[in-house]
Amino acid sequence: MLARDEDILKAAEDWRKAGRGVALATVVETWGSAPRPVGSNLVIDDHGNFLGSVSGGCVEGAVVTEAIDVIESGRPKTLEFGVADEAAWKVGLSCGGTIRVFVEKVE
């Protein structure tokens, strides 16, 4: 079951208040077949805990890994996954679409 947007943002707020490093990943663009729509969120803490979904499957694992880097560096990233990208097959995005995910640190 997917978490509601309110649950995801509440988790981000609670994790920050608890002193954790937190990042928020948001689907900002999709082309073709994509498992989650624009606006879908995933919140990640500095230990790799997460809530929500930006794609499903192994893409989430790749986003979590990149989010931990964003938390450490403080620099946002835009990630792109798609069938034309060799990495897409590695992370399980073989549905024929492309997604772009913006990852930012929550302050």
Residues 6 or more apart whose CB falls under 8 angstroms from that of 92 comprise 57, 58, 59
Residues 6 or more apart whose CB falls under 8 angstroms from that of 13 comprise none
Predicted local distance difference test score (pLDDT) of residue 33: 75
Q: pLDDT band at 5, cuts 50/70/90? A: confident
Task: Collapse the DSSP code of 46 into the 3-class scheme (helix H, G, I; strand E, B; otherwise coil) and give the result.
Answer: coil
Rounded distance between C-alpha atoms, residue 60 and residue 25, angstroms: 10
Among residues 14, 100, 92, the alpha carbon closest in space to that of 51 is found at 14
- Reported as half-sphere exposure (CB side, CA atoms, 13 A), residue 79 has a value of 27
- The pLDDT tens digits of the residues spanning 45-99 come to 999 999 999 987 778 899 999 999 999 999 999 999 876 555 555 555 556 678 9
Residues 6 or more apart whose CB falls under 8 angstroms from that of 93 comprise 55, 57, 58, 59, 81, 82, 83, 99
Q: Residue 98: give the domain boundaries.
A: 5-106
Report the domain count for the chain. Answer: 1
pTM attached to this predicted model: 0.85
